[in-house]
Structure 1
């Protein structure tokens, strides 16, 4: 989190915040998403880059979910589903552009990142999500 905060501090996104396990929106409301079954789910991502409600036109930039390779597949899939929902442009094709109102459910993260580390094999799997869809994935050796 600290490394990412330092990196963005020297960019056009310097007014954004990097938070760990953060799940609050403007006014202290819990951030929520709707899954594909229209169930409202409170969310807490491992790391997020957002404006904390200060920039209503683009509050959310990056959502990062991290897992160990030894985690259960169901847990990994939940993180992937969350990233798909978070990077959608809207829910029910509704979005307020009045510059004052945040949506009822969190969405419009520009980028979702799924990061899975396998310590034994010394591999990291990275997957990118944008606009509610998986985009690119690759494996890095360390």
Structure 2
């Protein structure tokens, strides 16, 4: 296992501290949900616990329940907001598994029949598109 100490200079820690802007769709005592800036599909949203944890392997078990409740809430909202056929929920632990930001986070991705996911690297999505998509998710949350 390639386990290292949590580093508080990661991008999600910086977003949580307000140092970097993000298109937030939900905030609770335990987590935030933001639009992914390099979405694999329209409406790709991230759920990020506020507690400092590198990944699932070192997370405080007490935060996992509330975080997963937020994941479920966001999954329902993005499915509704984008009229998706389904939702993929993924979470990566350590580089060998695909983790590239070392703060626990969960990807919630609306899925559409016959439409493959885009790679999670490359160009960032247009800010206006992210802003509009965030509003769609917030509207779906408000209507739930």
TM-score by length of 1: 0.29
Structure number with larger C-alpha Rg: 1
Larger relative strand fraction:
1
